[in-house]
Amino acid sequence: MFDEFEKFDTKANPKNPLLVPLTTLIAALEVWKHKAKISKVNMKGIKSPYILLANHNAFLDIQMLRYITFPHKMSYIVAIDGFLGRKKFLESIGCICKRKFTNDPYLVKNIDYVLNKQKNIMAMFPEARYSLCGTNAIIPTSVARLVKHFGVPLVILKMNGHHINSPFWNLKMRKVKGIEATLKCVLTAEEVKGMSIEEIDEVIQHEFIYDEYAWQKKNNIRIPFSWRAEGLHKVLYKCPHCGKEYEMSTSGTILKCNSCGKEWFYTELGELEAKDGKTEFSHIPDWYEWEREEVAKEVRNGTYHFESEVHTDILPMDKFIPIGKGKLIHDLNGFKLTGVYKDKPYELFIPSSSTYGVHIEYEYLGKYGDCVDLNTLDNTYYVYPERKDFSVTKISLATEEIYKAKFSKKN
């Protein structure tokens, strides 16, 4: 499909990273600005090559990653949209292109090249997206399988404060000081070789548990800006008071349901307080997980269904190409995108069995609004629903719950 466009070549070997001192200096300026508290645990004697997994909340993660591993060379796995306008530069510093939530056979080859040929660090963000509400997202067992396959040390970088400084629902900087980062070797090469995939997976899942809002309150990090709540309705799209969806809005420090009129004040410590009556959820992740369970009920009883006319852009390499109007259906079977481009009909179907998660964007690049991006091995489809009553957050939650209900190990 869309074979007339040049596609990103993921087969090429990663380049040995250049400009390490320069990129580290640029990263250091940002890290220093936030007065980062950095710790290293069990890192004595740990040298590259090793696999480094990091949690993902903001662009600051990448800068911290570069800073904390200096002077060692490192390659990163980067989503294709990260290469927009800077493909040659990113390739020159060792970045490897990956389309989100796809099983790319060439990725394993590239990781092997970094670890065994270049003898460098291989860094990855296994959550594959910024956290929507500052808590850990799904990490598939395939990550543990990858660690076991290569048999090198496993290092995990866990960072706190980056979501509070620049949450996914409103990327405006909050100038948070006292961010934290811990670089920890959780498994030596010998331990990796002696453990099962299930045991390695258990270690990874345990080490990736985090809660940015709990961290904020514990460390008394105050956000005084008068606009601090704006955008939070993108994540908290369903009212726990009246049960209506898609009626939430934000202004200044207030989260409001436009259906029943209930309002919540977003405090400087990142908590919610009802202006009148009961505070259903003071902790933002609790509200988010309640929404998840509400979606899970729809999945279990077979009523979940989303359908909308859409506008779609594709990203075959490092430039967006509009392909016009179409229709998106998301249900228990998966995603189905249809449309017509240059008088030729097209159809993209991504089954739910291959989709444990999906990437979403809020007000992406200021173009058409919120979007879902769907990926194949050679193309990425940025799909913008045109209906007003929808939430890409719900689509994301539904994708995860459909997969868990139908295909997870536990089921």
Residue 363: CATH number of its domain: 2.30.29.30
Regarding whether 279 and 130 lie in a shared domain, the answer is no
36 assigned to some structural domain: yes
For the chain, how many structural domains are there in total? 3
Question: Where does the pLDDT of residue 410 fall: very low under 50, low under 70, confident under 90, or very high at 90 and above?
Answer: very low
Residue 171: CATH number of its domain: 3.40.1130.10
Regarding whether 258 and 398 lie in a shared domain, the answer is no
CA distance 206 to 323: 43
CA distance 201 to 208: 11
72 assigned to some structural domain: yes
358 assigned to some structural domain: yes
28-70 pLDDT, tens digit each: 999 999 999 999 999 999 999 999 999 999 999 999 999 999 9
pLDDT of residue 121: 98
Mean pLDDT of 157-163: 98
30 assigned to some structural domain: yes
60-106 pLDDT, tens digit each: 999 999 999 999 999 999 999 988 888 899 999 999 999 998 888 89
Regarding whether 372 and 278 lie in a shared domain, the answer is no
CA distance 112 to 100: 19
CA distance 174 to 130: 17
225 assigned to some structural domain: no
7 assigned to some structural domain: no
348 assigned to some structural domain: yes
321-350 pLDDT, tens digit each: 999 999 999 999 999 999 999 999 999 999
Show which of 274, 300, 326 is a domain's final residue.
Answer: 300
223 assigned to some structural domain: no
Regarding whether 378 and 364 lie in a shared domain, the answer is yes
CA distance 191 to 203: 11
Regarding whether 94 and 200 lie in a shared domain, the answer is yes
Regarding whether 141 and 290 lie in a shared domain, the answer is no
Q: Where are the beta strands (DSSP E) in 108-228?
A: 121-124, 154-160, 180-187
Show which of 282, 300, 318 is a domain's final residue.
Answer: 300
Show which of 218, 253, 277 is a domain's final residue.
Answer: 218
Boundaries of domain holding 34: 20-218
The tokens of 236 are what? Answer: 């908290």
Regarding whether 113 and 24 lie in a shared domain, the answer is yes
Regarding whether 160 and 137 lie in a shared domain, the answer is yes
Regarding whether 386 and 363 lie in a shared domain, the answer is yes
Looking at every residue in the chain, the average pLDDT score rounds to 95
- Indicate the pTM of the whole model: 0.95
Regarding whether 60 and 171 lie in a shared domain, the answer is yes
pLDDT of residue 411: 41
